[in-house]
Amino acid sequence: MNTVAKRPLTDDQLLRVPAVAEILATSEGFVWGLIRQGVLPSVKIARCRRIPASALKRVIRDGLGARRTDATPATAVC
């Protein structure tokens, strides 16, 4: 069900990897790759990764070319 795309994103939302994959119309593996490469910033809460909506909007707006050097490796699947 396409529930995420029907709601407007606010900058303070934290999104799960499946929701980001749905928004980008891609696979979860691709999203995890963006996180590991430092292209898509994420935060770790307990054992789970969340992507700030503001970071997703920035990646969509600016494209995938810019990489962060201070990215934290993603290891948890949640």
HEC letters along 35-66: HHHCCCCCEEECCEEEEEHHHHHHHHHHCCCC
Structurally, the chain folds into a number of domains equal to: 1
Q: Does residue 75 lie within any of the structural domains?
A: no
Tens of each residue's pLDDT in the chain, 78 residues: 455 656 777 878 999 999 999 999 999 999 999 999 999 999 999 999 999 999 999 999 988 765 554 555 555 555
- Confirm whether 72 is domain-assigned: no
Q: Which domain holds residue 21?
A: 15-61
Asked if residue 3 is part of any domain, the answer here is no
Residue at 34 is within a domain: yes
**Quick check: 51 and 40 in contact, CB under 8 A?**
yes
Which tokens hold the place of 20? 């980001």
